């Protein structure tokens, strides 16, 4: 029997607080050698969009095995009235290999990506951080704010947002003020996000840097979750050079796909040894932020371990609570 879970089912079963916990555990198990994340397979031309096939396995107490298929088709909203990002996740029984669950992966993708930033905030941002700024007001950006809120243990007080689409920003403000009870301020330019901001998040589809890294205040923590190809980036070389810590969700993945790090390495500004996986900090193998003046950078290109851990949580809860539909193939 295969348990089928809709987006509504997933929403009922998954909270950001739980997603953050499970994504953190996934990062930990990767560093401990208890998880395997093969390089994701990218499929594009002649299709008008990108499809990624992302398998992964996590051992230990989690014992999770799953594969996500996610697509990014920028023409979908305008041409088909569909989301840009679509995803499904197949959960397998780790003992038999049988597929036991198929679930909508779009919400899980957004939640686990927000949780990744939340984990980075927990370990890299200043403990007195209260104000964040975010580039973009889309669906993913909203989950970034929620992830930051929980990463700060609900101590986030204000979020400044910049988006080219004013209506999207207004909806962003309305929804998040209601959900989190924090102040959302819409600003007129991306540069406005750099002033009096403790945490800066980039969650865009931009292929070029969003701001001048020389204008970032000391002590800022930056998380970039957009731009996942070797020749594109959200962060410029200046901020990478200034950073005291250059952290990756997974170092190997960022060295293959994150232009934010790859380009400065090719320029000779930093080396591969200057980048560490966040699991190194979570497990205590590497030191995190040392002073309140440090600038810290976290880059995530998305790895299947995040999906595997979160999907396993959703599947287990669905079985426990009798949610979803069983299909006998």
Percent of the chain with pLDDT over 70: 100
Residue-wise pLDDT for 85-143, tens only, equals 899 999 999 999 999 999 999 999 999 999 999 999 999 999 999 999 999 999 889 99
- Give tens-digit pLDDT for 303-314: 999 999 999 999
In this structure, are strands 85-92 and 64-72 parallel, antiparallel, or unpaired? antiparallel
Q: What is the DSSP string of 145-168?
A: HHHHHHHTTT---EEEEE-S-HHH
User: What is the C-alpha separation between 145 and 151, in angstroms, rounded?
Assistant: 10
Burial of 171 (0-12, 13-18, 19+ CB in 10 A): middle
Average pLDDT, the chain: 95
Question: Is the predicted pLDDT of residue 84 greater than 90, yes or no?
Answer: no
Rounded to two decimals, the pTM is 0.93
Spatial distance between the Cα atoms of 219 and 282, rounded to a whole number of angstroms: 20
Share of the chain above pLDDT 90, in %: 92
The pLDDT of residue 155 is 97
Which pLDDT score, from 0 to 100, does residue 121 have? 98
């Amino acid at each position: 029997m295969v348990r089928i879970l809709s987006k509504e089912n997933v929403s009922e079963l998954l909270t950001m607080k739980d997603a953050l916990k499970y994504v953190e555990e996934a990062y930990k198990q990767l560093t401990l050698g208890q998880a395997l994340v093969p390089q994701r397979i990218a499929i594009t031309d002649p299709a008008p969009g990108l499809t990624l096939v992302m398998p992964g396995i996590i051992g230990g107490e989690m014992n999770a095995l799953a594969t996500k298929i996610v697509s990014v088709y920028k023409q979908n909203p305008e041409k088909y009235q569909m989301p840009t990002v679509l995803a499904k996740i197949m959960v397998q029984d780790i003992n038999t290999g049988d597929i036991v669950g198929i679930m909508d992966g779009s919400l899980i993708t957004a939640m686990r990506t927000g949780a990744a930033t939340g984990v980075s905030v927990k370990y890299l941002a200043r403990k007195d951080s209260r104000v964040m700024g975010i580039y973009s007001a889309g669906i993913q950006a909203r989950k970034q704010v929620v992830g930051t809120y929980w990463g700060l243990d609900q101590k986030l007080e204000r979020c400044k947002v910049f988006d080219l689409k004013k209506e999207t920003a207004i909806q962003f403000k309305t929804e998040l003020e209601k959900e989190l009870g924090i102040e959302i301020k819409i600003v007129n330019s991306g540069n406005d996000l750099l002033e009096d901001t403790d945490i800066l998040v980039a969650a865009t589809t931009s292929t070029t840097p969003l701001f001048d890294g020389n204008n970032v205040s000391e002590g800022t923590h930056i998380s970039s979750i957009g731009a996942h190809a070797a020749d594109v980036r959200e962060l410029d070389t200046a901020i990478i050079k200034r950073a005291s810590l250059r952290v990756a969700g997974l170092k190997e993945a960022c060295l293959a796909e994150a232009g934010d790090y790859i380009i400065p390495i090719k320029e000779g500004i930093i080396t591969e040894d200057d980048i560490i996986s966040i699991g190194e900090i979570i497990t205590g193998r590497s030191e995190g932020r040392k002073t309140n003046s440090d600038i810290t950078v976290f880059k995530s290109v998305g790895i299947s371990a995040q999906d595997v851990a979160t999907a396993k949580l959703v599947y287990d809860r669905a079985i426990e609570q009798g949610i979803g539909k069983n299909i006998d193939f």
